[in-house]
Amino acid sequence: MSNRSLRTIRNGAPEHRDEPALAPYPAPHWATTRDGSAYVHISVFPRTIDELRKLSRDYGDAAVAETHWGCVLTWLMHEPHETDLSNPCRVAMVATHMVHEHDRIRLGWPRHDENPWNPPTLDYLSPDVREEAERVAAETLSDWEKAGKPYMGGTKIKRTYLALVSCPDFSRRYVRPINDNEEQNEPDC
């Protein structure tokens, strides 16, 4: 045990208390069962984009982009009113799909079959056409945000996270094998 006094500890403490270890933790979310008893609701899945980014670790940016583009494409498939879009729906769909495909590769979204991604369609376009496709996709993303981000919610975020953690590449990097949990020096029986 150390012989440090409380004064020594206080003098060595950080001046700013905004450090993660010292920041106050948000109050727990209380829920109620059918019989009226209260319990602390705990979720092992991300519920917000920020939680998704953090829980996805090195794949955070890829997971967020996957969620956003997936929601935009779902919105386009359910045919929003043409007045909600800056471009015709079919043009927006093709451009969004190409940029989504490109972002998957650029940001390192893993594949379940572990095969490399095919080169994105954008790479085969002339610079002018590519720029136009990227502009249309950006405008479509903006239109989706103006429409209130339809299809974005806890369910979509959870599905993206489950798709990510079920990839072998994610498991290899972040999940410890079961046999590593066993004690190394088990007594012989």
**pLDDT at residue 137 above 90?**
yes
Nearby residues of 65 by Cβ (< 8 Å), 6 or more positions away: 100, 103, 104, 107, 109
Q: What is the mean pLDDT of residues 124-137?
A: 97
Looking at the chain, the whole-number percentage of residues with pLDDT higher than 70 is 86
Please name the residue that has the structure tokens 């998957």.
Answer: 104
Q: Which has the higher per-residue pLDDT, 106 or 28? A: 106
The count of structural domains within the chain is 1
Tell me what pLDDT residue 97 has.
97
Angle at which helices 60-77 and 154-165 cross, to 10°:
130
Residue 116 corresponds to which tokens in the numbers above? Answer: 């490399």
Residue 79 corresponds to which tokens in the numbers above? Answer: 């045919």
Question: Is 107 within 8 Å of 63 (Cβ atoms)?
Answer: no
Q: What is the pTM of this model?
A: 0.75
CB atoms within 10 A of CB 139: 16
Q: What is the mean pLDDT of residues 133-155?
A: 96
Q: Which has the higher per-residue pLDDT, 105 or 39? A: 105
**pLDDT at residue 6 above 80?**
no
Looking at the chain, the whole-number percentage of residues with pLDDT higher than 90 is 65
Give me the domain span that covers residue 91: 49-174
Flag whether 40 is in a domain: no
Q: What is the mean pLDDT of residues 9-32?
A: 68
Flag whether 169 is in a domain: yes
Flag whether 30 is in a domain: no
